[in-house]
Structure 1
């Protein structure tokens, strides 16, 4: 991704995710606080800034789960490439 591309799309992405702060802004919820730490639950807070989630290892767990899913997808794709193709028998 070119430099600046993420920065340009970042605000749009943040407005789409249903953090409590975004839901309050849209009138869909009354309370913008994080249920873990009582800070303002923005998308940034949910993804990487909640001190309670950090202390409980939630970010590490999420990171490891994403890597596990990627590894399984790669192994599945590789298995499809390695499988021998069935050969047709020609009757004479």
Structure 2
């Protein structure tokens, strides 16, 4: 069979996270079935139906491509590209990311973080000599460490999201060599979440 061993190829490897918790409690049987069959290219795509002898044609019903594989359906159909089906799927993914990040951005914008304060350790560090004399070492105040949460570095975060029907122009100060799709940015600090 030409399908045997195809899942072992590095080029076609998908990230597989089939932990027991997901398999037993999170995924529906339909989602699990789709996931396993997609990994092994065993979904009933027109090309597979032709290979299995279930139909005489392996054509794409939308663009009439002669070899309609799962890859073609999910990524390569010219009709789906021109009609905006891939953009819709892409925009739905962006919206899911934004809805997950939005509560954290709102929380960060409501708080005011002061990173310019210094900590004074002069009263807490004391040294004792061998003869028992205590003295305090003059210690300079240490600057506060930078917050580990990048959202704490600013309190004016805004979202810029590039969707198909809402083409936005990213501010020139935020332009980077890569094309951002979502850009949570801080105008005051002139930084993006990814920088």
Using structure 1 for the length normalisation, give the TM-score. 0.56
Mark the structure with the bigger radius of gyration: 2
State the alpha-carbon separation in 2 of the partners of residues 49 and 9 from structure 1. Answer: 18
Q: Which has the higher contact order (CA 8 A, sep 6+)?
A: 1
Q: Match of 1:7, SS? A: coil
**1:38-49 paired onto structure 2 within 5 Å:** 38-39=64-65, 40-49=67-76
* Structure 2 length-normalised TM: 0.30
Runs of 4+ in 1 over 6 A off after TM superposition: none
CA apart distance, 1:59:
0.4
1:31 and 2:52 equivalent? no
Native 8 Å contact 1:14 1:43 kept in 2: no
> Cα distance, 1:32 vs. partner?
0.7
Q: Higher strand proportion, which one?
A: 2
For the aligned residue pairs, the C-alpha RMSD in angstroms reads: 3.0
| Superposed counterparts of 1:8-87, under 5 Å | 9=13, 13=39, 15-39=41-65, 40-69=67-96, 74=100
